[in-house]
Amino acid sequence: MRVGVITFPGTLDDRDAARAVVVGGAEAVSLWHGDADLKNVDAVILPGGFSYGDYLRCGAISRFAPVMQLVIDAANKGMPVLGICNGFQVLCESHLLPGALTRNSDLHFLCRDQEIEIVNNQTPWTSSFKQGEQIVIPLKNGEGSFQCDDQTLAMLEGEGRVIARYVGENPNGSRNLIAGITNAKGNVVGLMPHPEHAINEQTGPSAQGLGFFTSILNAMVK
């Protein structure tokens, strides 16, 4: 089971993501933004950070990286893809996921432990969780406010495509407290908070983030 972790110029969380993949039980494969080859991976993670310096808009330049053309094709054919934070922004800019991530409503860069509820455990990235399970993982971003038009919001809610919601006060102005969504097929997931920073209680607020990485292993083994 090979899980690719993409590094763009300005990516920060690729090493933590790769480590989480290994702790979850899979092999982590480093992919570079300029690669024209997905190295036979079974799934791909787009980690957090500030790819291409967040120039223009978060994720806007990364969308056109050579490796992303391969990821977009593979995702459309059903390969599991997880975008975390900046990776979520890249997936929205790539039109693999609907909506957009905009500036936090209070303008502050937030970095804190955040409680979220898993509201769809039917994706290859969330199957290790119980439906409705509440977990605490770090949230750290400046542009994490999920926005879309009313029609898209109704579609996401109606089709059960919201996969995680913030618990308690809305941290960033996201519509309907949305912390993560999936595509129509359910193979592409975008998540604003960071499960890869919560795989060990000694270095994170919990080890509950690990569920995303054991989920993908289970999905592939089935």
Supply the residues annotated as catalytic: 85, 194, 196
The radius of gyration of the chain from alpha carbons, rounded to an integer in Å, stands at 15
Distances (CA, A) of 45 to 122, 165, 190, 200: 18, 20, 10, 19
Does position 208 bind other proteins by CB under 8 A? no
The CB-of-68 to other proteins minimum distance in angstroms stands at 14
The CB-of-156 to other proteins minimum distance in angstroms stands at 13
Does position 110 bind other proteins by CB under 8 A? no
Q: Which of residues 12-71 bind other proteins (CB under 8 A)?
A: 56-57, 60, 64
The CB-of-37 to other proteins minimum distance in angstroms stands at 25
Which residue's CB is nearer to other proteins, number 93 or number 196? 93
> Quick one: tokens of 125?
């990235």
Which residue's CB is nearer to other proteins, number 129 or number 146? 146
Q: Which of residues 85-104 bind other proteins (CB under 8 A)?
A: 92-93, 98-100, 102-104
Q: Which of residues 141-170 bind other proteins (CB under 8 A)?
A: 145, 147-149
Q: How far apart are CA 165 and CA 168, in angstroms?
A: 10
The CB-of-102 to other proteins minimum distance in angstroms stands at 6
Contact 46, 90 (CB under 8 A): yes
For other proteins, how many residues bind (rule: CB under 8 A)?
Answer: 20
DSSP string, 141-195: ESS-EEE--HHHHHHHHHTT-EEEEE-SS-SS--GGGEEEEE-SSS-EEEESS-G
Considering only 2-10, 66-74, 105-113, 183-191, which stretch makes contact with other proteins by CB under 8 A? 105-113
How far out from the chain centre does Cα 172 lie?
A: 17
Does position 189 bind other proteins by CB under 8 A? no
Which residue's CB is nearer to other proteins, number 19 or number 103? 103
H helix runs in the chain, sequence order: 14-24, 66-76, 86-93, 150-158, 210-221
Which residue's CB is nearer to other proteins, number 173 or number 205? 173
CA neighbor of 141 nearest in space, from 177, 181, 112, 180 = 112
The CB-of-60 to other proteins minimum distance in angstroms stands at 7
Question: How many CB atoms neighbour CB 76 within 10 A?
Answer: 13
What does the binding site for other proteins look like in residue numbers (CB under 8 A)?
56-57, 60, 64, 92-93, 98-100, 102-107, 145, 147-149, 173
